A and B are shown apart, each in its own frame.
Chain A
């Protein structure tokens, strides 16, 4: 019996990753068409609406770009850790810690001049995310504790911290007892560039470019990538792994924190439980689709942002938001699968003894 087998290609397929994303989109479109037909909708009308709402005109682009900003920064955070073979699953919580930091500065500095206030908010956001990542970073660097689980647990702690703040100490006295934090003062908002696109776009672009250059072209980045590909090589070449792990994970948390600060000052009017809205988890997926390369994060975040915004827009046509969630999942699985096939080729094993079990029977 012939059995399919995966074997490593000497070279990944050229253009494999765009191809992977495209395959994901195609699979999602196909499954989405079935789901939409099943719910009695006209798929063509829905898809054209999705496109119009996300990429159809400058206003749509603005909304999509605003979404791509937190996705890109979160993706970058994960990719920085990923360049070294570390998993930061805690971007979701670090985004919230960043938003808490920024909201705290906005509370105490309501009468500061706008530029000072916003700068301090973003600094606090970076600090908030970095602090939340510090524990997992130290634990991983000093004790070898798996960072996947520690960062994952801290997500759940951070969301509850936000809930506690807006149900308690930070509850708006004018909110008629609703658990809502007060609105940000006007000078705490990021300025807009065009339509509704805010200044965070430039911040995210700058940070992504700096990080890409740092990882790709500096000695620091070179050491990082060596440590990511082989621990023993890194050790032989005298790279201090614990120190590297510590700085990289804290840096990763700081970038995610920045995403929270930018999201708060750019898009949200106030600190809410949904300030992160799954951006941290989406960031993991963005980074994975970008093959953990900081330079690839921007393009993936833009496409993913368009899918999300397009998905939201069709709710006004009576399509349940679950359809867009399912579409996202299919983009992901399609891309994961296609990503594997861009690195591996399928061959058919012939011969009877392809596995020991078969050899026995």
Chain B
């Protein structure tokens, strides 16, 4: 293993970490408001395909990113409508959303498979910072979405911890009826959180097709939406911990294709099980601890709220 390949590994760790972080932040927002959305994979696929199509049609990567985020939010709102509006089972609706998203993405992207990208998000030039040894190529040579992911993490963290909106949002996920009594619209808060979560998942998908693998093909999301769902639990519903978890899981994604070149005799397939096994372990630890202190999971997660049934 030489310096260049190690830098390559760390670079990819950060970029995959950002990819996972965006989607996981979206899921965290929805779950904090009390809505489990298992449609992340579908929302990422929609973001990926709409970003690529918009890139080809308009040749503007930023417009493409915005369109991807709107598309993700729109798809997420289907889940919002059924689970928040109608009170349907969140698990069933979320899984259906994954099917819908993957199907729609394949349908929309049919004419774009294998086309060269019309727009790409190119790495940001940070001047002298980019020339620093190690740190420069790893941290200061990334696509702009990586920095946006970091900013989104800080924003989500601040909104949740220190704004009235964040407080109301968390309250909707802990106890819907008391949130309602306090004069906040549980439905509105939850719908907004689900849609915002979809926008972030859409941005994550856009990062794939505008930068990481600037091409469209069915299955480009490759199950990363499920890793994002796992990440939220791994990070115990805290934006900062989810961020560190994203780097760790991103590291496994980055390492997977490199194992052989590093001369490590370990199956890359077994390596890719790691995020899920780690999440299971963390889940066990959390629940053993939960005997002494309260569980970090939002108390009303997964429960529909109907005012007349409280």
Contacts and interface: CB of A to CB of B under 8 A. Distances in A.
Contacts of B95: 89, 281, 284-285
Nearest to B291: A143
Nearest to B83: A336
Interface residues of A, number: 53
Interface string A8-43: 100000000000000000000000000100000000
Nearest to B275: A156
B308 A7 contact: yes
A285 B102 CA distance: 16
Contacts of A161: 273
Interface of A is mostly: helix
Interface stretch (A52-60, A104-112, A324-332): A324-332
Nearest to B187: A355
Contacts of A148: 36, 91, 302
A360 B269 CA distance: 58
A285 B92 contact: yes
Given A156-B223, A160-B270, A326-B107, A340 B96 contact: no
Interface string B84-122: 001111011101111110111111001000000000000
A232 interface: no
Contact of B280 (A89, A150, A322): A150
A208 B104 CA distance: 34
B82 A322 contact: no
Interface stretch (A94-102, A163-171, A239-247): A163-171
Interface residues of B, number: 52
- Scoring B78, B229, B283 by chain A CB atoms within 10 A of each residue's CB, the highest score goes to B283
B3 interface: no
Interface in A60-116: 87, 89
B236 to A, nearest CB: 12
A89 B88 contact: no
Contact of B103 (A145, A157, A281, A326): A326
Contacts of A284: 91-92, 95
A146 B297 contact: yes
Nearest to B223: A156
Interface of B: 36, 38, 78, 82, 86-89, 91-93, 95-100, 102-107, 110, 180, 183, 185, 218, 223, 226, 229-230, 233, 267, 269-270, 272-273, 276-277, 279-280, 283-284, 287-288, 290, 297, 302, 306, 308-309
B91 A337 contact: no
A340 B107 contact: no
Interface of A: 5-8, 35, 87, 89, 135, 139, 143-146, 148-150, 152-157, 160-161, 163-164, 167-168, 281, 284-285, 288, 320-326, 328-330, 332-333, 336-337, 339-340, 344, 355-357, 360
Given A87-B91, A340-B86, A285 B96 contact: yes
B52 to A, nearest CB: 15
B59 to A, nearest CB: 25
A333 B233 CA distance: 27
